[in-house]
Structure formats: C-alpha cells, structure tokens
Structure 1
Amino acid sequence: MFDLPAYLSRIGLPARVTTDAEGLHRLQRAHRLAIPFENLDIALGRPIAIDSAAVFAKLVVARRGGYCFEQNRLFGDALAALSFVARPLLGQVLLSGTPSPPGTHALSLVTIAGQNWIADAGFGGSYAPPMPLTDGAEASAPDGARFRLQADGDGWTLLRDGDPCTTDGRGGGPGWRPQYRFTLAEVDDAAIAAGNDWAATHADSRFVAHRIVSIVLPSGFARLTDRDYHRQVGDAVSEGEITDPRVYRLRLSLMFGIDLTREEVAALGLF
C-alpha cells in the first residue's frame, strides 16, 4: 500500500493535488525540487532495485535520490495513488555524443480528460515540465528553458532550448537540442528491468563511469559530476573542483540533501 501522506511530506506538498494538468505540474515540480537525481549506489556496489517497496524505502524513508528508473517508479506509484491514469514509457537519451540504447530511459504517459501528457520526474539532464503529447507542443521551465515535442516517425523527440548552465553539462550550445526520444509502446516489467540493468551495470553506461548528483532549484540547477560542482540560480554561478572528501560530503548534504558516511564517500573512489 503506497503511503501517500509520507510521499507528499517528502516532496513538501501539504495536501493532495487535483487530477488535472495543474495538479500534474505541481506534483512533478515538487518531486524534482525535493528528491535529488543520483547514482551513487552503483559506485558503492549496491544493486539498483526498482520495485515499489525498494524505491519508496530509499527515496522517501531514507531520503536519498535515484535515477530515472527509481524516480519514475516512485512518481508512477504516486500518480496511481492520486487516481491519475498513467503508465510507464521507455526511451533513449540523446544528450551525449552517442545516444544510449533504446529502452534505457523511463518516463510516464498520463491521460487527463482524454489528452495524453508526458511527465518525467527522473530526467537528470535538466528540468523538463509535463507536456501535452502534441506535435509541436512547447512548454517553459522556471529556469527560462523552452521545451518542444516533435513527432518522429514511430516515436517522439523532446527538444530543449536554454542555458546549458541549467543542465547537467551535456547537450550544451545554442538552439534546440534533442534531449531524448521515446515511443508510446506498451512496456512490461521485464523491459523496464532490462533497461535498468543496462543503466546500472553496462560498461558503456554513463552511470557506471561517473558519480552523478543533481537537483532542480526554483530558478536554476545544481550538479555534482565526480568532483566537479556547478550551481546556477539566475545569473549567479558557483563552480569548481572539489579536492577534499570532507568538502564533498558536506556539499552532498547541504546542497543535495544526501547524507553519506565518511566511509561511503571514500568508497566512491573519487579521492
């Protein structure tokens, strides 16, 4: 049984949202402001479990973060508990020079009053707001970035036009940049598990190669990729390389709300 009051408390919402587009926007925004994107358990040698009980225990009870398969499992469970009509989708991230394989990114399809929307509480590259599933639909994020949906053969591509400083550092440059591509195909637990396994274990996965943490800010973005820290709010930028594990641990706690022990920070292999 999903503990909706505990989830709403975790994301800082005082009450249930309405089951309409406004409610969907409020829920996803609060989720991303409160729960960091992170993959640190991979470096710590821990399996990434994505069943409902495991993600709730980690992201809500233990107040940790997670990546797309964890975040969107939790978000999907919350949508169901709130009586939204939703189902999972799979896609591929296009930000790095070489796209990830199809089926290695998770998001949600939400149907409201007969209109399909995409919602993604687990895209760590930046903040992508919920959008109606319509060719050419556009939306703006609070950091000033714009997003556009484009029909693409048998699927869809989400594009972004905005300051690369309010992203995780990938896909920079002016103009519209593809973020990820997805299809509306029905997916089962086996397909989701396979995508999660690739992300958590494959040598080509960015999550195996790097220790990544990020958080959406009310009008900006903060990220910690390995030892490189970057935070932007409006025009104010703070960045640099962290060379002291004590500073890294403190930054994790104060900026991202992730509390690791000294031993766990040492086990990340960054210092």
Structure 2
Amino acid sequence: MTENSPASEWGAERVDPAAYLRRIGCAGPLAPTAETLRELHRAHVLTIPFENLDVVLGRGVRLDAGALQGKLVDGRRGGYCYEHNLLFAAVLERLGYRVTRLLARVGPLGEPRRARTHAMLLVEADGTRHLADVGFGGEGLVEPLPFAEGAVSHVGPWTWRLGRAGDEWVLSTLRQDGWAELYAFRLEVHHRADFEMANHYTSTLPSSPFVRHVIAQRTIPGARRRLQNLELDGQELKAEELHAVLGEVFGIGLEPEEAEGLARHARAAGRSPERQG
C-alpha cells in the first residue's frame, strides 16, 4: 500500500530536519535505510517526552507541521501521538522515506469498539515495510517493527508482536500474565482531516483521559518514568514539587504558574489506572 495524498497536504516541507536531528542527538548517516530508521526511531523515543500538558492548560493541540516543529523541536516540549508521529513522518519524508499515516483503535479487541484515536506510521525502507510509532506512550514501541504477521521485537525488558485478527493488524506487548493487545488498525489511506477530527475528539471529549488527567512519560534505556496527575512512578507528589519534576525528570520547561494550574487540575482529577497512548 502507498499513500495517495500529496506530501504538501501534510506540510513536510515546513519541518527542518537538521534542527530535528539536533533535538534527538542524531548526527547520521542519514541514507533512508532500515538501520537509519531504527536509529532515528529509538533516539526520538528516548529524547522527546510524551505529554498532554497543553490540552490540560486549555491551549489545544495544533497538527500543522510548523506548529509541531515549533513545539517539539524548537520549544523542546513533548506531545501525544498525533504530534509525535506527524512530526516523525514529515522528517522521514524529507529524508527520502515513503510514509503512510495510519489511525488505530486503542485497547483490547472486542465490543464495544473504540474510536480510531491513535496515530502511527507505515514506513518503507530497504524494500520492506516497518511499523513505526514514536508516540504511543504507555507500552509503545521503542524501535520499528517489521511489518509482517508474527514479527516480534525485543528491546531491553520489552517485547512486542504484530499479528492479524480478521482484516485488522494488531500490535501486542508481552506482560507477566501474557500477551496484551495495544491497538488494532487497517491499511487504508488517511488524510489530514481524519487526523484533525481524531485530535479534536481526543483533546476535547470530557471523558478523554487526556482531558481528565495530567500525563507525562519519558522512556529511558530499560525503564519508563511516568507522571499521572500527582503520582510519579507510583509515588505521590506534593503539588509544589510538580514544576521541578516536569523539568528535571521529563525535560519539560514550564512557567511556575503553568505548573500550578496543572497541579490544581491534577488534584481535581485524582488517581486513575488509565494507560492509553
């Protein structure tokens, strides 16, 4: 499958690959190979945090390439799946990769079916296709996964598998009690309007976890640091500690009054077990 929509629809030309590469600490080589894709994917996941702070602060999330460049690269912030993967897609296209942007249903298969609210990518390199996803949060991929039924990836303590269920592809992760489905998707062309609709739904629906909770995650080799409301890695924080934690643990620089607003929201939200990407 190839993507039929023109690159100009996504504005890839507005992304600065050199600035992005400095942001994630990659110097090359940059030939559009599977090995380069793996290096870029891993560096992105280990550098740019997953976070929804602009949603909680009432600013909304813009998906145009210029805004993604300004926030995640120039502003050294993080974002959630649409921001991460649309930025990554634009950079990959600038480097010569062929990229298909996809949307998935998060969570285990079954009824009722959830809306398609997660973004990820299909990338062609060295004559083969790879599932790339730098923006799931939770238990998301660290490196690309070969796009083949039964493909398995091991990175540190984590394992993922790509399978089929009818006409859907399913990404699963291995937990202590067995395989758990992360999301399911079909191969079909999506357009920017589809992503804008999904982003609006995710960032405004009152029951969305990204509206209800303060969330930040940083992946480091072999571990993940996760903030949800006023809980960091399972330990309760004081509201006044939030500003320092965002900066020191996640590399997210906010003004003190912004952190205070997040803390108020976090106190109101309370603790929740939700782990959606």
Specify the TM-score bucket, using the shorter chain as the normaliser: 0.7 to 0.9
The 5 Å alignment of 1:159-238 reads 159-162=172-175, 174-230=177-233
Shift of 1:113: 3.2
Q: TM-score if structure 2 supplies the norm length?
A: 0.86
1:146 matched to 2:140: no
Change (3 A) 1:159 1:99: farther
Q: Is the 8 A contact 1:91 1:182 kept in 2?
A: yes
Q: What stretches of structure 1 of length at least 5 have no aligned partner?
A: 163-172, 231-238
1:58 matched to 2:71: yes
* Cα shift readout 1:23-75 (whole Å, capped 9, x = no counterpart): 11110110011100000111111010011000110000110000000001110
Name the structure 2 match of 1:256: 250
Q: Secondary structure of 2:211's partner?
A: helix
Name the structure 1 match of 2:105: 92
Q: TM-score if structure 1 supplies the norm length?
A: 0.88
Inter-partner Cα distance in structure 1 for 2:111 and 2:121: 24
Inter-partner Cα distance in structure 2 for 1:16 and 1:98: 46
Percent of aligned pairs with the same residue? 37
The aligned amino acid for 2:203 is A
Change (3 A) 1:218 1:17: farther
| Equivalent residue for 2:236, pick from 241, 248, 257 | 241
Name the structure 2 match of 1:134: 148
Inter-partner Cα distance in structure 1 for 2:113 and 2:20: 31
Shift of 1:114: 3.1
State how many pairs are aligned.
Answer: 251
The aligned amino acid for 2:177 is P
Inter-partner Cα distance in structure 2 for 1:221 and 1:117: 23
Higher RCO (CA 8 Å, separation ≥ 6 residues):
2
Q: Secondary structure of 1:70's partner?
A: helix
Inter-partner Cα distance in structure 1 for 2:31 and 2:70: 25
The aligned amino acid for 2:74 is V
1:119 matched to 2:128: no
Shift of 1:98: 8.6
Inter-partner Cα distance in structure 2 for 1:248 and 1:36: 16
Inter-partner Cα distance in structure 2 for 1:126 and 1:150: 17
Q: Is the 8 A contact 2:109 2:181 kept in 1?
A: no
Q: Is the 8 A contact 2:169 2:185 kept in 1?
A: yes
